[in-house]
Amino acid sequence: MTQDSRRTDHGPTIYEVAERAGVSIATVSRTLRGTGPVAPETRRRVLEAAEALRFTPSRAGVSLAEGRHAATGIVFPDLSGPYYAEVLMGCEEVASELGRSMIVLSTRGRSEVPRLVRDLAGRVDGLVVFGGTVPDDLLAELAGGGHPLVLIASAPLPGADLVAAENHDSAVRLAEHLVGHGHRTFTLLGAGDGSDIAQRWRGVTGVLERLGLPAGAPVPCAFTVEGGYAAGRELLARTGRPDAVVCADDQIALGVLLAAEELGLSVPADVAVTGWDDIMAARHARPALTTVRQPMRELGARAARALDELIGGERTGSRHQTLPTELVVRASCGTHPLEEA
């Protein structure tokens, strides 16, 4: 039981390299990290020994001595759908350039999120957190505890950076486009958990109100294809079906498309449908989905960079960045002049 099984068989240590090269460990360290002066001949011997032993410094040792992890954590709900995956990629790429590893933590379906997040916080220099994944009080505790924190698509938090895509104005553009198609009765699908969605709805209803058009409260709906399908079936089957269904994200919209098809309704002739995010399937659906593209990769990249600044202490005050989105007009919102030609 007290055998050796407690540890993985680690590689050679700096002592072995030092011995083989006939120098002290200090010299090995200096040589390998390029700090401090080393005689050419010594350097050669050290490098040779390190090479021969395939020496890689123990990360734990380095971390402990340096007092930093050279790693950043990222907390997201799930990786299904391209949104989070893309953000993660953007983040990972920049982090890697900055010499940091990325540790991922998904919260979907997890019961002990606070414990997992605390644990994660303990092994990184800073955290990137998606809105709605971690309880606010825990975030506040972390920020208060001096943990550099960057929030993505989330409500602002004192002491933490925030990176988000523009929501309100994009929604205004989308709504105006739909109104331009002649649509008059709208239904918003996907009640807003998080300020993100709420901002979009404010943009849409603002346009409608200005035009004196009715704008009911958003209809609750799971943010999945199945959720959109179920809600779509219900919504489109009843009398007084809306002209246009504006969905909180593409997955919901795809579900609505499925429901419309099944009900024998034509999109966009009978009903217009729009999404949000521009995931891959949006382009390939028929009719292709009109949606709003978010700069997902860029969101991640910005978050990684902001975190690096926070960690490096180059900046103390928190900063909020809002990235522009792009309205992607496809077939699902109505027939376009160009296509008629």
Q: Give the binding site for DNA (CB under 7 A).
A: 2, 6, 10, 13-15, 22-27, 29-30, 32-33, 35-43, 55, 57-58, 60-62, 64-67
Q: Using CB distances below 5 to 8 A depending on partner kind, what does residue 35 bind out of a copy of itself, DNA, none?
A: DNA
**Residue 47 pairs with which residues in a beta bridge?**
none
The DSSP result for 176-235, as a single string, is: HHHHHTT---EEEES--SSHHHHHHHHHHHHHHHHTT--B-PPBP--SSHHHHHHHHHHH
Which one of 26-34, 39-47, 80-88, 209-217 is the stretch in contact with a copy of itself (CB under 8 A)? 80-88
- Residue 30 CB, nearest distance to a copy of itself (Å)? 16
Nearer to a copy of itself, 197 or 285 (CB): 285
CB 17 within 8 A of CB 28: yes
Nearer to DNA, 125 or 278 (CB): 125
Which one of 15-23, 139-147, 151-159, 206-214 is the stretch in contact with a copy of itself (CB under 8 A)? 139-147
CB 331 within 8 A of CB 268: yes
Nearer to a copy of itself, 314 or 340 (CB): 314
- Report strand pairing: 291-293 vs 326-328: antiparallel
Question: How far is C-alpha 44 from the geometric centre of its chain's CA atoms?
Answer: 45
CB 221 within 8 A of CB 197: no
Within positions 115 to 134, which residues make up the interface with a copy of itself, using CB under 8 A?
116, 118-123, 125-126
Which one of 155-163, 197-205, 281-289, 320-328 is the stretch in contact with a copy of itself (CB under 8 A)? 281-289
Nearer to DNA, 30 or 100 (CB): 30
Structure tokens, 189: 């699908």
Q: Using CB distances below 5 to 8 A depending on partner kind, what does residue 39 bind out of DNA, a copy of itself, none?
A: DNA
Structure tokens, 38: 């080393």
CB 246 within 8 A of CB 175: yes
Nearer to DNA, 9 or 340 (CB): 9
Phi–psi pair at 297, nearest 5 degrees: -55, -45
- State yes or no: cis peptide before 295, omega within 30 of 0: no
Residue type at 265 in one-letter notation: L
Nearer to a copy of itself, 160 or 204 (CB): 160
Nearer to a copy of itself, 55 or 201 (CB): 55
- Residue 59 CB, nearest distance to DNA (Å)? 8
How far are the Cα atoms of 236, 239, 272, 290 from residue 334, in angstroms, in the given order? 17, 21, 6, 9
Q: Using CB distances below 5 to 8 A depending on partner kind, what does residue 71 bind out of DNA, a copy of itself, none?
A: a copy of itself
Structure tokens, 49: 């020994």
Binding site for a copy of itself (CB under 8 A): 5-11, 54, 56-61, 63-64, 66-69, 71, 78-82, 85-86, 88-89, 92-93, 96, 101-106, 109-110, 116, 118-123, 125-126, 141, 145-146, 148, 225, 254, 257-258, 279-281, 283-286, 311-313
